[in-house]
Amino acid sequence: MESKRVILVMASTVAACVSTAFAATAYINQVGYRPADPKELSLVEGSGDVEIQDASGNTVLTATPKAASVWDASGQNVQLVDFSELKEPGKYSVKVGGNVVRGDLVVKEETYKDVFKAAAKWFYYQRASMALEEQYAGKWARAAGHLDDNVQFHNSTGASGSISSPKGWYDAGDYGKYIVNSGITTYTLLSLYEHFPEYFKTLKWNIPADGQLPDLLAEIKYNLDWMLTMQASDGTVYHKLTALGFPGDVMPAQDSDARYVIGKSAEAAFDFAGVMALASRIYKPFDASYASKCLEAAKKAYTWASSNMNVHFKANPAGVSTGTYEGSDASDEKLFAGTELAITTGDASYKQSGSSANISYWGDMSGVATYGKATHASVFSDAEEAKQKVLSTADKFVERTQTGFGVVMSKEDFVWGSNAAASNQGIWLLHAYYLTGDQKYYTAAVQALNYLLGKNPLDMSFVTGFGSKSPMMPHHRPSTADGVEEPVPGMLVGGPQPGGEDVGSAAEWKCADYRTGFAATAYTDQRCSYATNEVAINWNAPLAYLAGALEALNAGYAPDFAVEGVARAAGKVAPESSASVGQSSSSVAPVSSSSNGSGIDPVSSSSVEVSGIRKVAPAATAHDAPAILRMKGGKLFVEKGGCRFDLMGNRVR
Ligand code: 9MR
């Protein structure tokens, strides 16, 4: 049986009796909410209504929490609170049971524009082979590293000698460059541009200019240029360019390990082909010769891979220990490449059968092929089938947001890079929204971003530099080695997952066990945690898509394939409220007897157990009366601020 736990809040003295002794936590999107958007917070250990107060302390909205339900990913008993009626831009406090539990609630327009810009700008910070100048990089300026102008072929390629393979983005916290992971990353960023060209044509975020290219396309081209170098004249695409092992915690310029082009694979070649086919139609209006170069490269890679379907990179060759991005079945990559080539060329011979109801990640590209088909009904006879798959998965995602923590994530989604799963779920929902105009998909997509920016059981934004609390010690070599306190901004960390692959005893590279028994809280903000706190291009790209697309939609843009009414001119669209009618908290005990069960204190991490009762050290929030435990007539009571409460939080005197 689970022991009863009660949270007692201790702090400085206040004279007045306050109405609750319990430390509720309200989890919010810490970056903010758009005035016209649906708005929700997740409440744990709450009691009674939630009040929202403006900067002058006036209550501007009172919201009744919905009935509580348990989220098995965190073990918390959660009440969802709809406060969509709060539409006036400003900074607000959240009061629960009469206590201010947080003061960082923001409502503003263009809410995620800076998040988008930072997420996109991070790709600039990841550029190999060039110095980052102070005028662009500020305090994160650094010398050039990894010129990669004379890279040896590893014998796993079957080639000999060396090639020049400069530019491209570092994959993650390491300095490797991997075609498979570049594939889904570059696809995601290109598709953002393709869906909202007019919006992204003019949006800028202080990166070096590349001719007349919009910033988004200038950034992407830096990686396309590298990818193109990874193709041999017969169409072969090499799998990766890395050293034999991961470097130490050094800046790029200090990494002197020899680098190699390693392996080749059908997966890499199809990923390359799909990306180049997409790039070809996007760059055409800006640079027709670059576009045809991309298309020729795409066709050659596709042809090579189609006759080498059994060439896989299943594991590292002996003596190599960098990332694998392994594969043993290239049919999903072929589906992606064939779909993009068919769209670009109109050549029906590229069409592949099938689509998928699963969101993509680097190891499964069938979901993005589904997007391609569903959004090009004039090209694919099975577009409707693809659309139905988008909608059936999206419906399941919407359903998940109705209970538990009010997020799309489920327990099973907490894999290595869980935050990318959350971002890609948001993108999937946006596709459902584009295809139907149904507000419920938009609302759930916003929920996906809410999760990433603070409405999660860790009560933190997973994007460096954004929100009241965000990662400070990501597994990212430049952020560790640059001597700058703040990590490079705009990075989405991998996020919680229970695998604990980085838990162990070798102090420098391994972490003490940070797992909690719950998937959604198995996370540590430490440099050692490559399994929960690394950053990666394939995780940042979907964050950039999600934040960027939400901004573009709200600036009045919509993809050309979208149904009427998808664009949301700021303030003009009244989104469906996520409020559910007729539910109230009245039947719900104000304090969960099991606390959150996760070992994570929702208010402060500094708590102590006293005879099975957990005392919480003063939180930054205003629970400021000392709480004293008293035994009276064989019963335990809590005295606080002149009031007495029973252990369920009910005031008894
Ligand atoms: O994102 C990858 C994840 O799906 C795998 O489970 C994990 C272990 O193989 O590797 C992740 O990718 C890493 C890559 O291999 C090397 N660069 C850092 C990547 C992020 O951790």
Question: How far is ligand 1, taken at its centre, from the CA of residue 79, in Å?
Answer: 35
Atom in ligand 1 nearest the alpha carbon of residue 417 = 1
Nearest to 323 by CA among 235, 421, 220, 247: 247
Amino acid identity, residue 23?
A
For the chain, the average pLDDT equals 87
pLDDT, average across residues 241-268: 98
- Distance between CA 207 and CA 129 in Å, rounded? 15
- pLDDT tens sequence across 376-402: 999 999 999 999 999 999 999 999 999
Say yes or no: 616 and 540 in one domain: no
Give 460's pLDDT tier (boundaries 50, 70, 90): very high
Structure tokens at 64: 């009744």
Question: How far is ligand 1, taken at its centre, from the CA of residue 161, in Å?
Answer: 28
Say yes or no: 478 and 588 in one domain: no
Say yes or no: 482 and 573 in one domain: no
- Distance between CA 412 and CA 498 in Å, rounded? 10
Q: Is the CB of 171 under 6 A from ligand 1?
A: yes
Q: Of 158-167, 497-506, 540-549, which range is least confident?
A: 497-506
Mutation choice for ligand 1 from 169, 170, 171, CB with most ligand atoms inside 8 A: 171
Say yes or no: 98 and 142 in one domain: no
User: Is 534 among the residues known to form the active site?
Assistant: yes
In a domain, 8, yes or no: no
In a domain, 575, yes or no: yes
Say yes or no: 404 and 546 in one domain: yes
Torsion sign across C-alpha atoms 380, 541, 326, 243: positive
In a domain, 406, yes or no: yes
Question: How far is ligand 1, taken at its centre, from the CA of residue 561, in Å?
Answer: 34
Quote the domain boundaries for residue 403.
Answer: 113-495+533-554
Say yes or no: 205 and 270 in one domain: yes
Atom in ligand 1 nearest the alpha carbon of residue 535 = 20
Angle of helix 266-283 versus helix 179-195 axis, rounded to 10: 30
> Residues with Cβ < 8 Å from 261, sequence gap 6 or more?
151, 152, 153, 154, 157, 159, 163, 165, 230, 238, 240, 241
Question: How far is ligand 1, taken at its centre, from the CA of residue 323, in Å?
Answer: 6
Nearest to 121 by CA among 548, 585, 602, 632: 548
- pLDDT tens sequence across 120-138: 999 999 999 999 999 999 9
Nearest to 118 by CA among 570, 461, 418: 461
In a domain, 515, yes or no: no
User: Is 475 among the residues known to form the active site?
Assistant: yes
User: Is 438 among the residues known to form the active site?
Assistant: no
Torsion sign across C-alpha atoms 359, 360, 366, 367: positive
- Distance between CA 550 and CA 544 in Å, rounded? 10
For the CA atoms of the chain, what is the radius of gyration?
26
Say yes or no: 329 and 404 in one domain: yes
Q: Is the CB of 417 under 6 A from ligand 1?
A: yes
Q: Is the CB of 172 under 6 A from ligand 1?
A: yes
CATH number at residue 73: 2.60.40.10
- Distance between CA 569 and CA 170 in Å, rounded? 37
Q: Which pTM value belongs to this model?
A: 0.86
Mutation choice for ligand 1 from 174, 360, 413, CB with most ligand atoms inside 8 A: 174
**Percent share of the chain, pLDDT over 70:** 83
Question: How far is ligand 1, taken at its centre, from the CA of residue 521, in Å?
Answer: 20
pLDDT at 228 over 50: yes
pLDDT of residue 507: 59
Atom in ligand 1 nearest the alpha carbon of residue 536 = 20
Nearest CA to ligand 1 atom 14: 323
Nearest CA to ligand 1 atom 10: 323
Say yes or no: 50 and 129 in one domain: no
Catalytic residue among 154, 195, 312, 475: 475
- Distance between CA 445 and CA 529 in Å, rounded? 28
Say yes or no: 129 and 83 in one domain: no
Say yes or no: 91 and 137 in one domain: no
Catalytic residue among 82, 174, 215, 413: 174
Q: Is the CB of 416 under 6 A from ligand 1?
A: yes
For 613, the enclosing helix (H) or strand (E) is: strand 613-616
User: Is 174 among the residues known to form the active site?
Assistant: yes
